Amino acid sequence: MVFGEISIKDKLGRTIILRNARPEDADDLVKYLKATSAETPYLIREPEEITITKENEEQFLQAKIDAERELMLIALIDGKHIGNCFLMSIAPYKRYRHRCDVAIALYKEYCGCGIGTAMLQTVLNVAREAGYEQAELEVMAENENAIAMYEKLGFKKYGRCWKMKFNNIEWLFFDVGSTLVSEEKPFFHRLHEIAEAVNEPFEIIQDKVLQLYKEKKKGERVLIKEYGIERPRWRSEDEELFPESYECLERLSKKYKIGVIANQYPGTASRLEKHGVLRFIDLVIASAEEGLEKPDRRIFELALSRAHCKPENAVMIGDRVDNDIIPAKKLGMKTVRVKQGMWKYWEALSESEQADYEVDDLSAVLELFEEEM
């Protein structure tokens, strides 16, 4: 359909032009498809799977203009194409006439500025005017930012499909604390000792620590400094393997090389052996032995070098946004955040803090990487 050009303002005050995608935009749109597929795991195709030609795209765009109830909308800043949103019929049958399919994508640098919301709202308004009663879309369950936007616009979840998989992955690197190993017992033991040292009820100390973690601070460390007390010994002997860790490592080690990148006291490999999982691990890189600590990129580079692995062929799996997700993403690794332990309260706001996937435990990690049975 023909759409009259309009302009909007994004959150940064920039003027965004929304208009029909035209055949002369075909070259830009093919490049856009390849670029956005490489930028995010949340689209359905890999860059090499974008095989559409400029001529095919020109025909497609003209067909959308000629269609009575379909639309391809593009957004531009200063004449530069930055994203698009489409509206299509589900099927050419009377019983499907009330249903339409919508989708949207932007170059990563323009996400989070309100442009996507404005584009999608515009397309939904057009859909209503065209007589559609039900708009549908697909989104990956881990794409929490997109889901929040869709729900704000009135979408509701009505089904779930299997996750899409990572491709070309050779190595899976795991953190240890609160990822493979539960630190709950030694952590609470330390809080009890802090409470005794400052003569405060344990519940008060626990609440203070929880609030500090929600503020993205290591709560017990802050309190120890504030109270001016000696740091209680970390009782590593009380650490326990998470129930899912053994099966996760055992099964994934049959398909991938398994590594560890962790900030740990001396003896990480020995402790993993005691837990019975070292047999599944091909490489252990620990801060105490290497003299490097996360988030220093050099510890990740060291692990990749010893693994003879390129960043794009590796995944970092850990619980901490600051130590695991941000530095691994900067290097070009894929990332999975496991929301366990106290760092699960970290609210990832910026793009740099967003993992490719977020899961609640290692059972979900296993599901993510294992071939469907």
The hierarchical CATH code for the domain 6-152 is: 3.40.630.30
133-151 tens-digit pLDDT: 999 999 877 688 898 999 9
What's the confidence (pLDDT) of residue 143?
Answer: 81
How far is CA 291 from its chain centroid? 29
Q: Are strands 99-106 and 15-20 parallel, antiparallel or unpaired?
A: unpaired
Number of C-alpha atoms within 13 angstroms, CB side, residue 353?
A: 13
* φ, ψ (nearest 5 deg) of residue 64: -70, -40
Please state the rounded mean pLDDT for residues 311-332.
95
* Residue 165 confidence class, pLDDT cut points 50, 70, 90: low
Sequence-ordered strand ranges (E) for 195-340: 240-241, 257-262, 283-286, 314-318, 334-338
25-71 tens-digit pLDDT: 999 999 989 888 888 877 878 888 888 899 999 999 999 999 999 99
Taking phi over 0 as left and psi of -120 to 50 as alpha, with beta for the rest, 341 belongs to left
Residue extents of the structural domains in the chain: 6-152, 171-181+240-369, 184-236
> Taking 70 as the threshold, does the pLDDT of residue 98 lie above it?
yes
Fold observed for domain 171-181+240-369: Rossmann fold (3.40.50)
Percent pLDDT > 90 in the chain is 81
Please state the rounded mean pLDDT for residues 336-352.
88
* Residue 162 confidence class, pLDDT cut points 50, 70, 90: very low
Mean pLDDT of the chain: 92
* Residue 296 confidence class, pLDDT cut points 50, 70, 90: very high
* Residue 110 confidence class, pLDDT cut points 50, 70, 90: very high
Q: Which two tokens stand for residue 66?
A: 């000629």
Please state the rounded mean pLDDT for residues 221-243.
94
Please state the rounded mean pLDDT for residues 281-304.
97
Q: Which of 238, 220, 249 is nearest to 182 (CA)?
A: 238
Least confident residue range of 251-255, 276-280, 351-355: 351-355
What's the confidence (pLDDT) of residue 160?
Answer: 58
**CB distance 199 to 357 below 8 Å:** no
- Partners of 318 in the beta sheet? 337
| Single-letter code of the amino acid located at 233 | R
Q: Which of 21, 4, 16, 17 is nearest to 113 (CA)?
A: 16
* Residue 372 confidence class, pLDDT cut points 50, 70, 90: very low
